[in-house]
Amino acid sequence: MATKKLPHKIETRLINAPTEVVWESLTNKTFLEKWWWLKPATGFISSLDVRPGGLFHYEINNIEPTINADFIFIEVIKNQRLVMTNALTRELKPTLSAVPETIIFQLKPKGTLTELSIDVLTRDFDSLQWLWENHYLAAWYYCLDTMQVIAEQFTQMRSPSPTPPAQP
């Protein structure tokens, strides 16, 4: 029997930052709170337990309706792969999420750059279409743009300044 692939959307970015910095952008609360939601919305992360079975809980407020979301980390391979889903609870039971999704982040070093691929898997085509029509995927791209800028700026700030040319 052939297996049927879930509907998904893949986005790939080449980020001018080392893999370790991109990983921190995905797994560090301070970094995440700078890019995870669209401005002018504000929010906070109340739980970020980056390990298999760990909880990522956040709230986005000052929008209607307020969003409270839980993701469970399924797979965590530092600096390489991060898989999380809102389709399951920590007890691995199905959630009541209206649009269950699984997000797969893949990181690959490319010299001094990092290739970041994000694969958003949904339960069915209708869910993927809903994400598209409600601008969820466009919002994702905007947030990823913001994350990319933050990672690149952080890399520039921590890089040693170039040696000035010798005086003649």
The sheet with strand 81-85 has its strands ordered as: 8-15, 113-122, 101-110, 81-85, 67-77, 55-61, 42-48
Residue pLDDT, tens place only, 72-113: 999 999 999 999 999 888 887 888 877 788 999 999 999 999
CB 114 within 8 A of CB 15: yes
Residue pLDDT, tens place only, 4-31: 565 667 889 999 999 999 999 999 999 9
